[in-house]
Structure 1
Amino acid sequence: MDRNRFADIHCSVSRAAGVAADPWTLLILRDLFLGLNRYEELRRDLGIATNVLADRLDRLVADGLAERHAYQDNPLRHAYRLTPAGRDLYPVLLTLLAWGDRHRSEGGPPLRLLHADCGHPAVPSLTCSHCGGALTPETTTAAPGPGGRAAPGTALVPGRLPTSLGPA
């Protein structure tokens, strides 16, 4: 799949998907968040082919989501650390986790999240940064943004959006 083709679509979802919306990439990111950061750890945990793992790690580094750091010189071995851009994908992974737990988990969730501040189990949810209310299809609308325009991949979207947000 040519993920670079999504870079030309004038849409943040498309551009993000071109970088991160590959199942292996998402699983590697999950493992990096869980603290597995060495090539062999990732390979063993995921059961992934070495060429696929090497390709996805190279892309994560090239796309600025992870950095390589040598932890051994002879032979040279690297660990991978998430960059701030990579860490910003955590809510995406949590949202996928919550969806998978609700719709694809047999016998209960395979992983529980505990909130470090209170120690309680946590279920990821999206909330408004202003009022804290839940963000759902029923409670949100889309409006034009400063970088919005009709372009390939978004040719019909502008016609579906309101012309203004109203009072700011």
Structure 2
Amino acid sequence: MDDFLGERDTWTSEGCSIAGALDLVGARSTLLLLREASLGTTRFGDFVSRVGLSEPMAARRLKDLVGEGLLERRSYREPGSRAREEYRLTAKGQALVPVLMALRQWGDEYASPEAGPTLRMAHADCGAELRVEVRCAAGHRVGRGEVEVTPGPGLVRR
């Protein structure tokens, strides 16, 4: 096990969790639609204007996100109007919110540090700024250099 990571050339990338996640949400427009959904955007026109996509592109991406189970479409009707559809994050989509927060945190620090954050995220109860960090299942904070990598059940060797 000591040289497990040194043997990476013997692995295939088949089944890689990062590659699989990027296949689902790796497009810039997809991540921006998910950002908007995580901030409470529900209506098609708002997604189009806030993300800056054409209507056909937004419709295609939203359809894909519904198909992947990240968003669900619900009907709503305002008085005097026809029935319309809105989009809401599913539990699977909600599980991506920490990923979006980590990307925002990283971007604030490294992609545009001079400008500063465009949004501040805080805990509603105490007002403290939110930070994404790595913790083990026992609750310990895990720093760089404190991670042990071992084979998982999905690893495929050549």
Same fold (TM over 0.5): yes
Normalising by structure 1, we get a TM-score of: 0.78
Supply the AA of the counterpart residue of 2:96: L
Match of 2:102 among 95, 114, 120: 95
CA contact (8 A) 1:20 1:26 kept: yes
Tell me how far 1:11 sits from its aligned partner. 1.1
Deviation digits for residues 41-97 of structure 1 (CA, Å, limit 9, x no counterpart): 111112211111011100000011111001138544211011111111111101101
Cα separation, 2, equivalents of 1:119 and 1:71: 34
Does 1:146 pair with 2:144? no
What secondary structure does 2:72 align onto?
Answer: strand
Cα separation, 2, equivalents of 1:122 and 1:95: 10
Does 1:107 pair with 2:112? no
CA contact (8 A) 1:28 1:42 kept: yes
Supply the AA of the counterpart residue of 1:108: G
| CA RMSD of superposed structures (Å) | 1.9
Considering Cα pairs closer than 8 Å and 6+ residues apart, tell me whether 1 or 2 has the greater RCO: 2
Supply the AA of the counterpart residue of 1:59: D
Q: Which runs of 5+ in 2 are unaligned?
A: 1-12
Identity of aligned residues (%): 36
Aligned residue number for residue 27 of structure 2: 22
Does 1:118 pair with 2:123? no
Tell me how far 1:135 sits from its aligned partner. 4.3
Does 1:39 pair with 2:47? no
Supply the AA of the counterpart residue of 2:156: R
Supply the AA of the counterpart residue of 1:38: R
Task: Give every structure 1 segment of 4 or more consecutive aligned residues whose post-TM-superposition deviation is greater than 4 Å.
Answer: none
Match of 1:78 among 54, 76, 85: 85
Deviation digits for residues 104-130 of structure 1 (CA, Å, limit 9, x no counterpart): 123211111101232212222222232
Normalising by structure 2, we get a TM-score of: 0.82
